[in-house]
Structure 1
């Protein structure tokens, strides 16, 4: 697939195959049949890649999470075409229609509101169905909030784990954080601004107050800010803020190398989170699975913790 400047030979005809970069206008050739996962900017619209523009302008179908959001991107690059909504609320209806188009030999471009499709959105269902049916799935890489935050954090990037959004309820959140405590890499989370202070406090309890971390806010946008420090200091800083706005990514440094087995303090942290959601016996069983410690000992400790509450 290529694109040629107007006035030269072109592939598809009509407005759907045209896009602009600055003052130059181009016509995109129709992509080969398949499902294209197209990354879009996470804030700064100039981060759009040429290949992404070619696919979006030239594909037979353009499926997006929110047509209003994608319309702004299309307007920036002079693309006029029909969009189809595909999101978690209509995936059951829209998905089969897109699969039918793909089986008919059409090219479908899938974009999310911002960043890379399938990262915290329902696109993976469509991809799984396409793969099962032998349909080509082609990634068109570009912006990613998780990777951008990792770069800005200054934390180790040789190994990392993207954990998405932590659970909203504190008990479930603490349990989930505890499950990730021994991953030997930088942890990356998305978080809502109104929950960031609470989440950082829970991370400090789960991973240690002195664990280095970074909070990246409004990446690539006008008010982009990266806060670096320990989990405890960051939790205090955000708790003191009158109001936090914008999209947030949290990066937490890997655990110290010497941390190889669960300590009693770790077990208490895990059990405390689990006890908020389940009975002591079940909490002990789950904690044993996570830590490798004795279920019997953990059960006795769970009973003690429950009595202290």
Structure 2
């Protein structure tokens, strides 16, 4: 019976929210015709859209259960998303948070450190963003900037990088010992796929903001980033907080696989809920609603 009800809910939700999901997906469609054609030719085996949306909604329902479990048991969860520029981290994060309570699940995407922050203990600016009980924090890039962009672009010295590699395993073990669950994802794409996605961003006015001079340099220094990534994975893949690699050439499959894996790594279950009932509206016969001036209203252009 419960499975039947859940299926009906999924079908109804699929119909009711298709417009919302299509709006999000439009970011992949607003391209020049030529780039769009080339992209389709290089990705012939894309997952069926109906299957994709059905699985996404099903797992987003599970994410809500996970959120309730985290809140009820005062759990603390950190999920780190790393990978090359345009690897799909942001798209996965967007689908994870899409239906969750932002007071419970929040995204941290820190800018480049200020001059003051550069003088601090390296991990200091990340610590205030760690979760309290009942919170999930998704880091869209993290302290691993030091092992990636800072190392490759020369913003950190080799001694600073070496100090980072010595410190980060113990830092993450401290987090785990304090009760924080740490899950780390590396989104992996090929050289050719990154080039295609950069071209898409260049030709799409809704995506050009995603390109920065640093992103363009990552194309020039592809091999340097590869060496830095391999070194980082080798030296920071600890039992308490292992790395998980998400093949990202197929964006939709990458999102589904990442969410499915995240759900599998946390032992959530159903938690008690208070029964919700709508109270009766109280009517006061002496109350008269004020008439507001028309200029307070948003113009009805649509």
Q: Give me the TM-score of the superposition, normalised by structure 1.
A: 0.24
Q: Give me the TM-score of the superposition, normalised by structure 2.
A: 0.24
- Structure whose residues are more often strand by fraction: 1
